[in-house]
A = this chain, B = another copy of it.
Amino acid sequence: MAHIIIHEVGIRDGLQIEKDIVPTDRKLDWIAKLAASGVDMIQVGSFVNPAKVPQMADTDELFRQLAAAPQRPGLIYTGLVLNEKGLERGMACGVEYFCMGVSASETHSRKNTGMTTADATDRIIAMGRQAADAGKGVQVSVQSAFGCGFDGHIPLDRVLGIVRRYADAGLTAVSLADSSGHADPDQVEEMVNAVQAIGASIGITCHFHNTFGMGLANVYASFRAGVRTFETGFGGLGGCPFVAMAAGNVCTEDVIHMFHRANLRRDIDLGAIVSVTKDAAAFFNKPLPGTIHRTGPIFHPGRFAAPTND
């Protein structure tokens, strides 16, 4: 069984929508705790216009400080870029792994980028190739892949068409993002199977929001279909301000707890992540949507006596 990979995106997807801006030192403290927990990837920020998204204004500074500090071997810090200028900024501050994408929803695409999906795909492929040719890691995503608060149903063929274009350009790390939380587990299995059928080289990540409560069910459905990499956010914070009714990311500690129970990933320190969630709840002075930070984990070892990570 392939190792499950957790890509913690709460520092970006969780914080970008909050009104209160988290100071850089606090972000660094949270990133350090998340890194120490044992998650595999951490999305540090987004290279967007600081005037428009002040929550992400310190992204370059965060990368600079992280690059100067000791780093856990194997841990990957990722940065989200939306355009060429963002890519340039990311290159300049030492980002080694870039995430970028397009929306399968025309309305979402126009609101986010001012471009059609087709034009945005041209642009992202050019940017992705530029980063890959410079030796950087690249993940390309399809946002609103499972439905859209504006456009409603997104036909599967739209998603597959984008993934085929990515794959033809040699960009094979693909994230299927349920930006509005519309996915149901049956749909997830269908889409994952269809994307896998495009080619064995494609490595699928899934990114779910828990808007309608189906987040963990969708994680499990994608796992059953063969997905091993998941983008999750501590505390279940998050949501895209340009997606109608978007709610939080599927919650990191809840996902890890589920895989821990099933003996599929047991070396991540849940307590370290919960401590970040609790600190974030105190900082934002509101309850966060995740479950495990309130209930604690199930306290008995379950069916498996000892951790057995591969």
Contact = CB atoms under 8 A, between A and B. Distances in A.
A32 interface: no
Contacts of A251: 213
Contact of A152 (B262, B290, B299): B299
A224 interface: yes
Nearest to A152: B300
Interface residues of A, number: 40
B295 A212 contact: yes
A302 interface: yes
A7 interface: no
A269 interface: no
Interface of A: 147, 152-153, 156, 182, 184-187, 211-214, 216-217, 219-221, 224, 245, 247, 251, 254, 257-258, 261-264, 290-292, 295, 297-303
29 contacts: A147-B298, A147-B302, A152-B300, A152-B301, A152-B302, A153-B300, A153-B301, A156-B303, A182-B298, A185-B217, A185-B220, A187-B262, A187-B302, A187-B303, A211-B295, A212-B254, A212-B291, A212-B295, A212-B297, A212-B298, A213-B216, A213-B254, A213-B290, A213-B291, A214-B261, A216-B216, A217-B219, A224-B224, A247-B295
